[in-house]
Structure 1
Amino acid sequence: MVLAPTMAAASHPEVSLPGSNFEIDTDANLKVDDPAPSIDWASVAETRKQDTASGPTDESFGQGSKEDTAVPSVVDGSIPPNKSDLKFFGVYQEGTTATGFLNLFWSRVQDPQGTTNMDFEFNQSSTLSSNGVTPVRTAGDLLIIYDLSQGGTNPQLFIRRWTGSAWGPATDLTASNLATGSINTSNIPAADSDGLGGQSARTFGEAQVKLSALFPNPNVCAGFGAAYLKSRSSDSFTAALKDFVPPVPVNISNCGSVKILKVDDAGTKLAGATFQLYADNAPVGGSRGAEDTLVAGKSCTTTLPTGSCTITAVLQGEYWVVETVVPPGHEGAADQHVTVTADSTVELTFVDPRQRGAILVTKLRKHVADGAGDHPHAGVDFTVNGVTKATDANGQACFDNLLFGSYTVHETTPANYQGEADKNVTVNNSASCADTPYAGETVTFTNTPLSKITVSFESQVPGGTAATIACTGLTATPPDGTPSAFDDTSETFQDLIPGTYTCTVVIDP
């Protein structure tokens, strides 16, 4: 949780840094002592880690482990009686990394009657080292040091950075007014301990560090994903490490991220969409222009099943998120403007409409009265995807708003014409019927007019002769029930396509 600071006025002794609402009490405690907007550990949702209870399973660092030991040895049940047996530690970020504060606390079982030396380590990596407990160190990891002399009440705060092989030189944060801290000089009753349990004097300490001290270069992304607390056996930095509270995940960064969800117009998640980040240079907002520049290395591609991807380690600022690769069968989405702040994730949804096309049906017919060749045929019904339309004077009917895919075009054949069978058309071009020029799919149906032949016979002498009538390959309408009998006077053969037909009339001799 990150709380934007609003300056609070303290009515009891505090050593909080200017601009912070967090109570770093002179006599350290966890309860809120002043009116809002003051806050303290009991009123915030900090990241907290409890140590393993004292005993044979309580982990600590083995003999010989020091701060510069990249992979300290971890042992159980060896907390020395004269040094801190740790209980808890907590981390709370107040405000942004530019102007906010990192608040820390530690607690221990007893006061060891010596110096108090607590080191808070912050690691960029969450990958465990070979000891299986502490993270692998990365150059730039942080060590915030809380040193308090025997009987003292004003700790000194220092910071060191991991060089890759050892901790670098210490920077005095207290002397630079970049940090402050305190210890409890009186007992903290269990009722006021926010779940830590009763704390006797000098067993609870807190510290506050300006976040800008952790991120000195605002133009370089840095982030820390794990933190843990450890104690040293003396105020010498090379002293042996003793107890520690195991690492806990944290999210402290001077950069943000952009999470993108990709769906189509039906809400289906999509993979294969690539997004690129552009810096929104002045003038900010409006629409992306030539002045806006590509941010190198800041892109991502969506995958299933989530249909999402995240652009990470983005410096604070104004940006355009641009879809540069569109999934097949979809239209790209418009650019979206985004404001990225430190230690936060902005979520955007891009909707790529499914591409739609059109089918233009052309209906032709042979019509001798209009001249040779084929001619447009108006008024013929066609059905596509459940929609029926009649051809116009140009013999055309157009169907659009069709999702990419395969469609069946069905003709309702008009009477006295021979139609064509259904035709399958694949729609894979983005188009509408109104496009000029038309860029969609086309299909043509040609109908043939049908004819009928009637053959008649009549004896000039009533009852004088009889005949049979037959046309090769044709069946009369209605069918001739006695084709061999000389009883035909007229036979009709219909639904004939253009061609040559042979009919035979046999008159009874």
Structure 2
Amino acid sequence: MKGSRGALAVSAGTRKSFTLLWVFLFVLSLLLQYAAPRTALSAGPVLKAGTVQGFEVDGDLKSGDAASNPGAIPAAQIDGSLTNGDDWLDGASGNGVVDPATPPVSKLIADKANSNTDDQFIGGAKELDTCTWGYDTGPITGKDDIKHVMAYAKFVGNSAFFYMGAERIINNGDTHVDFELNRNPFKVFPGAPGVSKPDRSVGDLIVALEFSNGGSVPVVTVYEVAGVSNCLKSGQVAGETVTVNDITSGTAVHSATNFVDLANAGFGYTIPSFEFAEASIDLAELGIQTACPGLSAGSIRTRAGGDVSSSQLKDTVDPFPIDLNNCGKLRIQKRDAQGNPLGGATFTVSPNPIPGGSGTLTITDNGTNDANSANGVIEIDPAKPDTYTICETDPPTGYKLPSPACQTKTVPNNGGFADATVTFVDPRKTATTTLVLQSSNPTDGSFIDVNSSITLVVRETNTGESTLSNVNITGTNSCPTTGTTAGKWIASATKVGGGAFSGSLSTGQAVDFTCTFIADGNDFNWSATGHGTDELGDAASLANETVNGSYDVLMPATTLTIRTNAPAQVHEGDSVTIVVREANTGEGTITNVHVDGTGPCAANWVASSTKVGGGAFSGSLASSEAVDFTCAFSAPASDFSWTADGKGTDALGHAVPATGEHQQGSVDVVSPSTSLTLKSVSATKIHAGDSVTIVVTETNTGDGSLTNVHVDAGGDCASFSP
């Protein structure tokens, strides 16, 4: 029957293709590491029951009952006293170590018994020559047919103990159950395709549990592999032949059998007397110090006779893992600042903790040598006991190395992950950018004409730590989005400093975007905002990512007004002064401000040296400023007209509009003349004292109106009245 790992298992034993490396490797490491050369000891009938390091070797399967001697073992065959402890199955107290089985610490295999389909060795298969091995199915002789076998590994400090047990179907005759412990897992040799066999090495162990004298005396013999040679079939390696030494020590071995039937033994039936045996070995007592790697793969089989080299193999079960290593475990945890697991980091571990490894180990989360498939957890199991320097060398995408990037951790002998866990907390890479206005034509903030073409160039720079993708620009009142045509923000094909731009910027890189558009008739503001996506798919910060500006669609305007007008009428030669005021009532500064005219002021308009409100006038007027121009002359002989036209050049070099820039007037040059004629005399001859009336006529013979018209009298006429 084939056993499943991690639970009470039934194993069909068909073809040893499953890797039973845990049990074998565990025992192998312990046996390989013995301190001094050992001489082979002759194994004799030894039955020495006892409670060994808390485990009951008492001829019974249930825990917590050794003190009552359930196997009825004679007192002379008990080492010291039987005290309650652990055993194979749960009992009144203590723990059942295979109830359930917990690979690679313990294993329980329920094999087919008295079955025509039970896996067995072919005839002639020998323990020490695996080239003779082959498998078929069929009923097995009752004394060699095992029903249950069990194995358990335990450490006390740095000392390792191995416990084994077996149940056969009848107690008639001797049989041997070989528990083999190897460093390497089973393998298929090229010369024996389809046949799984142990891959033996010097220091491996074969622990033989003999049911002697019908089962009444369980004898334990410990063989250590001393030499290994390949054996061939058809010119190809088909297996191995080994030599072994008997290293059994009486103080290192305990064993027991059931001298009475075991009712309700735990398997649902009574186990008859002498059909169950168990044993323990103290590897340290055998001079075997555990190592890493140690013995970690196990297998179990029976043989008919006591000679390990010549007796024929019988029943077999699948190999299984067993932990007889002093290896520890090392866990590396990767977290973000919030404690969330981060996958994908790479670390170096120095020295290399992998058993058999050398130099420095480079390991990536979920890569080779990571025993844990979860993101953010690297587990090295097994790991050699030592003190290690663990350095993060390549952080997960979107994150940077922590400070410090290296930690030290000691892996103790037989330690678990709780004893050797290091945690690295990676800060997230910053995702920041800076957008600046690189150039503008016309210059940003200046005046422009209606329908002017405007070209803006902005530069997006990755000032953060994360590589940014999907780098683009959006805008308002200019180019709204990134694109490839006019009216869009068009990315340069080349990054600043060289290299093709394909939408991404590494740290420190920059790229220019150009926007060209036509201004309408209104003043306007524009803005551009940079965008990008960091390595984790989040938007980069918008801080420092917006630039803006404005353009003033120039609306120049000036107004010419009369401050001092010419009189309506003058006499020839009179002094005439006309003053006009030129005011900048529009936008922008006007240069070359002057006044042209006609008539007497054709070339006589003289600007004031001071602008209205103060400040020297040098030909320019800022918005809302004004200056007076004066035209002074002597009146000509004839009536005349005059004009004044304000002139100037706007901020874009164009002549200011003529609207509101014209003034004019006319002057009547007066030429006065009058004529006084006698109209009538009341009498030409009179007497003294007569009344005389004289009428004269005053006529305006010139131009213009006369005022204060009167006639001065003389002679006998005292006055003239109209």
TM-score bracket for this pair, using the shorter chain length: 0.5 to 0.7
Q: Residues of 1 paired with 2:117 and 2:221: CA distance? A: 31
SS of the aligned residue for 2:159 comes to coil
Unpaired segments ≥5 residues, structure 2: 1-5, 7-46, 68-82, 90-94, 99-106, 230-240, 368-372, 446-460, 478-521, 536-542, 566-585, 587-622, 624-649, 663-722
Please, which of 266, 270, 278 is the counterpart of residue 343 of structure 2? 270
Tell me the equivalent position of 1:331: 400
Please, which of 437, 447, 450 is the counterpart of residue 549 of structure 2? 447
Q: CA RMSD in A?
A: 4.6
Return the offset for 1:249.
3.3
SS of the aligned residue for 1:421 comes to strand
Tell me the equivalent position of 1:74: 135
Return the offset for 1:403.
6.1
Alignment of 1:227-376 (within 5 A): 227-237=298-308, 238-265=310-337, 267=340, 269-277=342-350, 296-303=359-366, 306-307=374-375, 308-333=377-402, 334=404, 335=407, 337-342=409-414, 344-345=416-417, 346=420, 348-359=422-433
SS of the aligned residue for 1:93 comes to strand
Deviations 1:218-238 (A, max 9, x none): 55522413x222111111112
Tell me the equivalent position of 2:271: 199
Q: Residues of 2 paired with 1:168 and 1:324: CA distance? A: 48
Return the offset for 1:245.
2.5
Q: Residues of 1 paired with 2:270 and 2:279: CA distance? A: 20
Q: Residues 73 and 131 of structure 1 are in contact (CA less than 8 Å); yes or no, is this contact kept in structure 2?
A: no
Deviations 1:354-392 (A, max 9, x none): 2124445668999xxxxx999xxxxxxxxxxxxxxxxxx
- The answer to whether residue 257 in structure 2 is matched with residue 183 in structure 1 is yes
Q: Residues of 2 paired with 1:149 and 1:127: CA distance? A: 29
Q: Residues 61 and 75 of structure 1 are in contact (CA less than 8 Å); yes or no, is this contact kept in structure 2?
A: yes
Tell me the equivalent position of 2:245: 170
Q: Percent identity?
A: 18
Q: Residues of 2 paired with 1:297 and 1:218: CA distance? A: 24
Q: Residues of 2 paired with 1:234 and 1:77: CA distance? A: 20
Q: Residues of 2 paired with 1:341 and 1:203: CA distance? A: 38
Amino acid in structure 1 at the alignment position of 2:296? F
Q: Residues of 2 paired with 1:498 and 1:61: CA distance? A: 108
Return the offset for 1:206.
0.5
Tell me the equivalent position of 1:389: none
Q: Residues 101 and 210 of structure 1 are in contact (CA less than 8 Å); yes or no, is this contact kept in structure 2?
A: yes
Q: 1:50 to 1:502 in 2, by over 3 A?
A: farther
Deviations 1:323-370 (A, max 9, x none): 23334542224525343332744555433232124445668999xxxx
SS of the aligned residue for 1:170 comes to strand
Q: 1:427 to 1:89 in 2, by over 3 A?
A: closer
Unpaired segments ≥5 residues, structure 1: 2-12, 281-293, 367-371, 375-397, 429-440, 462-470, 472-491
Q: Residues 200 and 228 of structure 2 are in contact (CA less than 8 Å); yes or no, is this contact kept in structure 1?
A: yes
Tell me the equivalent position of 2:144: 84
Tell me the equivalent position of 1:286: none
Q: Residues of 1 paired with 2:114 and 2:219: CA distance? A: 26
Deviations 1:47-96 (A, max 9, x none): 10111232210111110101023252111114135x32110111112235
Q: Residues 170 and 275 of structure 2 are in contact (CA less than 8 Å); yes or no, is this contact kept in structure 1?
A: yes
Q: 1:500 to 1:244 in 2, by over 3 A?
A: same
Q: Residues 121 and 313 of structure 2 are in contact (CA less than 8 Å); yes or no, is this contact kept in structure 1?
A: yes
Q: 1:311 to 1:215 in 2, by over 3 A?
A: farther
Tell me the equivalent position of 2:581: none
Return the TM-score normalized by structure 1.
0.65
Q: Residues of 1 paired with 2:179 and 2:111: CA distance? A: 14
Return the offset for 1:195.
1.9
Q: Residues of 2 paired with 1:245 and 1:506: CA distance? A: 113
- Tell me how many residue pairs correspond in the alignment: 403
Tell me the equivalent position of 1:45: 97
Please, which of 158, 169, 174 is the counterpart of residue 109 of structure 1? 169
Q: 1:41 to 1:203 in 2, by over 3 A?
A: same
Tell me the equivalent position of 2:616: none
Q: Residues 142 and 159 of structure 1 are in contact (CA less than 8 Å); yes or no, is this contact kept in structure 2?
A: yes
Q: 1:97 to 1:508 in 2, by over 3 A?
A: closer
Q: Residues of 2 paired with 1:342 and 1:163: CA distance? A: 29
SS of the aligned residue for 2:266 comes to coil
Q: Residues 130 and 197 of structure 2 are in contact (CA less than 8 Å); yes or no, is this contact kept in structure 1?
A: no
Return the offset for 1:301.
1.7
Q: Residues 148 and 156 of structure 1 are in contact (CA less than 8 Å); yes or no, is this contact kept in structure 2?
A: no
Return the offset for 1:240.
0.6
Q: Which of structures 1 and 2 has the bigger CA Rg?
A: 2
Q: 1:142 to 1:338 in 2, by over 3 A?
A: same
Q: Residues 392 and 401 of structure 2 are in contact (CA less than 8 Å); yes or no, is this contact kept in structure 1?
A: yes
Q: Residues 16 and 23 of structure 1 are in contact (CA less than 8 Å); yes or no, is this contact kept in structure 2?
A: yes
Tell me the equivalent position of 1:118: 177
Tell me the equivalent position of 2:57: 24
Tell me the equivalent position of 1:138: 200
Q: Residues of 2 paired with 1:268 and 1:94: CA distance? A: 34
